[in-house]
Amino acid sequence: MPTAPADSEYGTTLVPTVTPFSNGSVDAEAVADLSEFVLENGADGLIPCGTTGEFASLTLDEYETVVSTSVEAADGAPVLPGAGHSSVAGTLERIGVAADCGADAVLIVLPYFHGANDPAGNERFLRAVLDETELPIVLYNIPSCVGQSIDADLVEAVADHPNLAGMKDTSGDLTHLLEIIRRTGDDFHLFQGWDSQLVPAVSMGATGGINAVSNYFPGMMAEAIDAAAANDIGRARDLQLNHIAPLFNTSLEYGFAPTTKAALVERGVIDDDSVRPPLVELDDDQVATVRDVLGETLGVEAE
């Protein structure tokens, strides 16, 4: 029988929030409104400035605005901003900004563009950040964007570092995630980032999820995690197969930030679905598809 997700000071349902824009600039009011919406509707904490939050398209000043606004709106709920950068110095700079804003922890990625010329280089990078960080670190494994995966050997090598809290795995490789669970202890918080594998991951001991779909259906995602942890297989399977998977697959096809923003506009949470280049907004046919998929799920949170 599966056990409940490991206790985490950050909760089990964390939302990688989008960054709303208005007239080309960060819309701080909309950042706050979205933060309040997800926390009032079932989420435990916020992950601003991640992949869905278009972190790579933000200036450092904009990054500070998004993080500080999220912390204020969270009103004590955990906030774990992304702090991804391709250098140790750049990563630590963003961690410093996040710390000054009152964040609780940060997510970091392996260097992108220039990968390690030897596997030891990735451990050297992580330890350089872990040794100097001002905040607890959650590793963020997203090989489709970074170009390389945080392999199980590397996770095991650094798992006992006092500044490492856990990992978000968005590899889509359930076998890899299960290997991380097997090699790490109860104090290592592993979050599933591949929405269509949320229930299987939690059923096997993952702490919870950090999922784009939770921007607009936070309560449903929280219920799926709770059902999987409680061995309520029927409810967990229904939510995963009939609701989460179709929503995730639509995001996978059209792009996570554009699809999530379109869904949030449809739900009346934000007013503007604009994204920054190289991303583009969904066209009318794609928005219609999102509307149809949302319509099949609306009401699930109230059941």
Residues designated catalytic: 140, 168
Q: Is 181 annotated in some ligand binding site?
A: no
**Residue 52 is assigned to a ligand binding site:** yes
* CA-to-CA dists, residue 25 to 71, 150, 184, 258, 293, angstroms: 19, 33, 41, 16, 29
CA 12 – CA 225 distance, rounded (Å): 8
| Continuous H helices in 75-197 | 88-101, 119-132, 143-146, 152-158, 174-183
- d(C-alpha 251, C-alpha 130), whole Å: 32
Phi, psi of 292 (to 5 degrees): -65, -45
Q: How far is CA 250 from the centre of its chain?
A: 17
**List of E strands, 145-286:** 164-169, 189-192, 208-210
Which residues, including other chains, have CB under 8 Å from residue 84's CB and lie 6 or more apart?
55, 56, 91, 94, 107, 108, 109, 112, 140
The binding site for pyruvate consists of 52, 210
